[in-house]
Structure 1
Amino acid sequence: MNLLESIKMAFSSLAINKLRSFLTMLGIIIGISAVITITTIGNSISKTLNNTFDQLGDVKLTIYPEIRDDYEGKYPDTDDDTLTLEKVQGLVEQHPNELTYSCNEAYGGADIVNLKGETFKALMIGVSGDYFDPPQFKKQIIQGRAPSNADNIGNKHTCLVSDIFCEQYFGSADDALGKTIRFEVNNQGNINLTIVGIMEYTDLEKSEMKINTTKNKLDIRTYVFFPYNTMLEAKGLSPKETILHSAQIGWTSSCDSETAKKYIEDYFEDIYRNNDTWQIAIYDSQEEMGMITTVLNVITIAISIIAAISLIVGGVGVMNIMLVSILERTREIGVRKALGALNGDIRSQFVIEAVIICLTGGTIGVLIGVLNGVLLSKVAALLLNNMAAEYAEYITLSVQPSIPAIIISLAFSMLTGLIFGYYPAKRAGNMNPIDALRYE
């Protein structure tokens, strides 16, 4: 008897007792569906985090001074210890076509008198041109542009304001571009800046700034971004005198993160070679994202292994039903042997039946597992939109079933059928045909 005939007979046998066949598969279905659901959730979380991270576009290295691990004593704070703008610019100047930098600093609160003579406030932020490189900023700019690196180098008096600022000052954002506004900055003096761009706040920023809950628009304090060097000029400072708490280092298409790290390490190792107290540390958000993904994968695998234990219970159920099936079909086995069927033919028939039971159950379990993942993602999206709508635009939910997990699960279900079906099949194949024909 060939393989195709054995498979047809196996399906015919299973069709005779549909309910019993389904109940036999149930353990396999539950085990496989649990594994696929867990791996789908784990993969989807990892994919969602990666998609959200990519959307935010935060692909810069953050550098900052920190105390050396082996230092003991008081923490001095001299010019040699601090991170200055001059040092950062020196790093970029060594690799002008590969590295970029960005930094920002609050200049102070400003009082502005609008066209109606009403006073409102804004917070002045000095930023370098590369500060606006990440995609999320570019999406928020609805008119004009952000202060550029050329504006920064040339100490230009340009600025980027919000649409809310335009409503506060002009009444609307229609004719704001190109207008020059006088800002009276607290304890810093006055500065005139020309509007070159208008941005729109995200829902999250509006929530944090309580923009949606403030009834009087003049009570809202928005941000005004202008070139960093222009801010330094207004303060009467030079890059050498400007101390930074941190700075962001980016790279161009001709470079990558690992090469950028190497450049940073080599540059600051030379500067801090004789400094026994301080060193420059590098924070890589992508590296942290990789660590989070690794932890999620380990947890997913661990829980999946626990869930897979239920497949053993399902396998025991398959063996039990196969033993019952052999007893019920003893006379059939005797007739087949009397007609010339070999022990291997009988054995292969029952092994194939066990494998088909497990494989069918595994396939159903995979479909249920994937469906569970899709349903859970829909529930997550619904909860996100209802309970944390301000975060929704930052989070890109993604359902990502694990293809390796599906393949391994189906292979494991087939293996379960082979292992737990072999003993009953061997027992059926070793039956004495005369005893089988006499069996009542």
Structure 2
Amino acid sequence: MFIKENILLAVAGLRANKMRALLTMLGIIIGIASVIGVVSVGNAMTSSLTSNMASMGATNITVNVQERSSTSNSTYNGTNNKNSSTGNNKNNETNSNNTSGNNSKNGQNGNQSSRQGGQTGGGAPQGGGGIPAGGAMRAASGGGMPGGSGRQGKSSSSTKDTDLMTMQQINELEENFSDKISSLSVSENGSSGKVKNDTTYSNISTIGTNIGYKDVKNIEISEGRYISQNDIDGAKDVAVVSDKLVTKIFGSNVDPINQNIKVYTSNAIHTYTIIGVYKYKAQGGNRTSSDDNLTTELYVPVTVTKKTSTNKNYQTFQIKAKDGVDVQTFTSEVSDYLSKLYVKNPKFEAQASNMESMLESMTSMMTTVALAISAIAGISLVVGGIGVMNIMLVSVTERTREIGTRKALGAKSGHIKMQFIVESIIICSIGGILGILLGLGAGTLASKTMGYATTVSPVVILISFSFSMFIGVFFGYYPAKKAAELDPIEALRYE
């Protein structure tokens, strides 16, 4: 009963002093609006980042051949020394046993040693590798352990074909983890150029791919088909182009499938037959150039680009894990497999990594930044609370005779205290509601301006409103306590 009367009294007091009440609420409104606006924009950016990185393959595993670091070199040297020591013991034992061998046998051993001395350090591959035939096929040639980088006693910091992974080794890895791999993508960058007709042109960047590239990169085919194994085996001059290129070169009324296009590069002209059209998606979800200057990818069989490539083997490829597979654990398993594969290579190693940990770090960093900015914005709430306390003290002074009259009529100190606390809570609650509405509007406007989808957090809204009520109680208590402690006789005398 007393609470209802106190609420009515508080509302009547606010109506009597509208401008003063609004100015009192201003600090609360700005503080709540700032917090909600910043958190909304931060959530929108985080959601957009997560979505974009997921579309770019944030959970894919990337395998890359690179120079050994100092740490991995130490590990390699320790293993190599151990193997070397064992090998020397065996060689010494063999030499001692074969001291009385005949000349023909010694000559054979000498020739064998000579041949071994001419091999690349760390064991050369057991085959040339040939032209790789795509991730889904089993290569007929190539393979073997990646060797060192040149003759014994001579080192080179540049990556050579013998240091890279052959198609056979990639196929063996795919077979070894067939229960966890959904798709495996290998690619080779080709030449950039222009596709021209009589009146216009379209910029393209040629990429040689295998079958698995489509799934790993989430390419959506709108017409025709993607590159097949027959295309890869035969190194056929076929291409999958973007819908942007089709619209620009052929228009909207021509069927592009089986049409021939000419790609003009800096030093050659290539003719391809279109077998499929994919839907173009801007990187990161944002367009940075107009259709006139847009460069799209033109996908061809990887064996086509490998014809003119310096390296026939692969420095990097990507793995898409099956649903339900823990990417972090799987990445560690692939890394262990690769470390055994490259244990005899003194210069290079193959490492597996994924962007999931990077995504988590970036999300955590953005959340931390948003919370830090929100905390700074929350300072205005404290300032607003001080303003509420100031106005409530003024209100106590203005209503001293009223307080004395109520006490003379039998009102208890608790009733007086509750009256002013409720009034302070009402002021902060109304300010909190206005701040929430303003914050949601500002957050939505800012998110749309930056091109992000609006994300509203009900938890943040609830916390903000609760905090505004807490400020009302906290900063309203002292003025209410001061009002409750007034002597009724002195209060009635107050002018």
TM-score tier after normalising by the smaller chain length? 0.7 to 0.9
Report whether the alignment pairs 1:341 with 2:411: yes
Superposition pairs for residues 37-186 of structure 1, below 5 Å?
A: 37-56=37-56, 59-70=59-70, 71=73, 75=157, 77=159, 81-99=163-181, 100-106=183-189, 125-133=207-215, 137-138=219-220, 141-148=221-228, 150-151=229-230, 155=234, 157=236, 158-162=238-242, 174-178=254-258
Compared CA separation, residues 283 and 438, structure 1 to 2 (3 A): same
User: 2:415 is paired with a residue of what secondary structure?
Assistant: helix
State how far apart, in whole Å, the 1-side matches of 2:180 and 2:428 are.
Answer: 57
State how far apart, in whole Å, the 2-side matches of 1:180 and 1:309 are.
Answer: 66
**Structure 1 residue 347 displacement after superposition:** 0.8
Report whether the alignment pairs 1:291 with 2:361: yes
State how far apart, in whole Å, the 2-side matches of 1:379 and 1:185 are.
Answer: 39
Q: Residue deviations 1:362-382, cap 9 Å, x none? A: 22111111111122234334x
Q: Unaligned regions of 5+ residues in structure 1, if any?
A: 215-220, 382-396
Report whether the alignment pairs 1:261 with 2:344: no
User: 2:349 is paired with a residue of what secondary structure?
Assistant: strand
Partner of 1:20: 20
Q: Residue deviations 1:282-301, cap 9 Å, x none? A: 34233323222222111111
**Structure 1 residue 131 displacement after superposition:** 1.1
State how far apart, in whole Å, the 1-side matches of 2:194 and 2:455 are.
Answer: 51
Contact 1:64/1:83 (8 A) holds in 2: no
Partner of 2:352: 282
Compared CA separation, residues 342 and 380, structure 1 to 2 (3 A): same
1:105 corresponds to which letter in structure 2?
A: E
Q: Residue deviations 1:201-255, cap 9 Å, x none? A: 55779x99986259xxxxxx986433335665x6799xxx832231111112252
Partner of 1:36: 36
Compared CA separation, residues 230 and 212, structure 1 to 2 (3 A): closer
Identity value in percent: 34
Partner of 1:380: 450
User: 1:137 is paired with a residue of what secondary structure?
Assistant: coil
**Structure 1 residue 181 displacement after superposition:** 8.5
Equivalent position to 1:317, from 356, 366, 387: 387
2:461 corresponds to which letter in structure 1?
A: I
1:212 corresponds to which letter in structure 2?
A: D
Equivalent position to 1:404, from 454, 459, 477: 459
State how far apart, in whole Å, the 2-side matches of 1:9 and 1:163 are.
Answer: 68
Superposition pairs for residues 223-262 of structure 1, below 5 Å?
A: 224-229=298-303, 242-262=312-332
Q: Unaligned regions of 5+ residues in structure 2, if any?
A: 75-154
**Structure 1 residue 339 displacement after superposition:** 2.2
Compared CA separation, residues 187 and 270, structure 1 to 2 (3 A): farther
State how far apart, in whole Å, the 1-side matches of 2:493 and 2:328 are.
Answer: 78
State how far apart, in whole Å, the 1-side matches of 2:400 and 2:30 are.
Answer: 31
Compared CA separation, residues 2 and 174, structure 1 to 2 (3 A): same
Contact 2:216/2:318 (8 A) holds in 1: no
State how far apart, in whole Å, the 1-side matches of 2:196 and 2:29 are.
Answer: 70
Partner of 2:469: 414
Compared CA separation, residues 328 and 314, structure 1 to 2 (3 A): same
User: 2:66 is paired with a residue of what secondary structure?
Assistant: strand
2:453 corresponds to which letter in structure 1?
A: S
1:308 corresponds to which letter in structure 2?
A: G
Compared CA separation, residues 62 and 2, structure 1 to 2 (3 A): same
**Structure 1 residue 144 displacement after superposition:** 0.5
State how far apart, in whole Å, the 2-side matches of 1:406 and 1:427 are.
Answer: 33
Equivalent position to 2:431, from 335, 356, 361: 361
Q: Which structure has the greater CA radius of gyration?
A: 2
**Structure 1 residue 317 displacement after superposition:** 1.1
**Structure 1 residue 262 displacement after superposition:** 2.9
State how far apart, in whole Å, the 2-side matches of 1:329 and 1:182 are.
Answer: 89
State how far apart, in whole Å, the 2-side matches of 1:223 and 1:31 are.
Answer: 48
State how far apart, in whole Å, the 1-side matches of 2:29 and 2:323 are.
Answer: 49
Compared CA separation, residues 427 and 67, structure 1 to 2 (3 A): same
Contact 2:203/2:293 (8 A) holds in 1: no
1:127 corresponds to which letter in structure 2?
A: T
State how far apart, in whole Å, the 1-side matches of 2:328 and 2:314 are.
Answer: 23
Q: Residue deviations 1:276-332, cap 9 Å, x none? A: 543323342333232222221111111111111122221111111111111111122
TM-score with structure 2 setting the length: 0.70
Please identify, of 264-273 and 357-366, the stretch whose mean Cα deviation from structure 2 is larger. Answer: 264-273
Compared CA separation, residues 343 and 276, structure 1 to 2 (3 A): farther
User: 1:13 is paired with a residue of what secondary structure?
Assistant: helix
Compared CA separation, residues 377 and 257, structure 1 to 2 (3 A): same
State how far apart, in whole Å, the 2-side matches of 1:352 and 1:130 are.
Answer: 67
Report whether the alignment pairs 1:4 with 2:4: yes
Compared CA separation, residues 432 and 113, structure 1 to 2 (3 A): closer
Contact 1:112/1:122 (8 A) holds in 2: yes
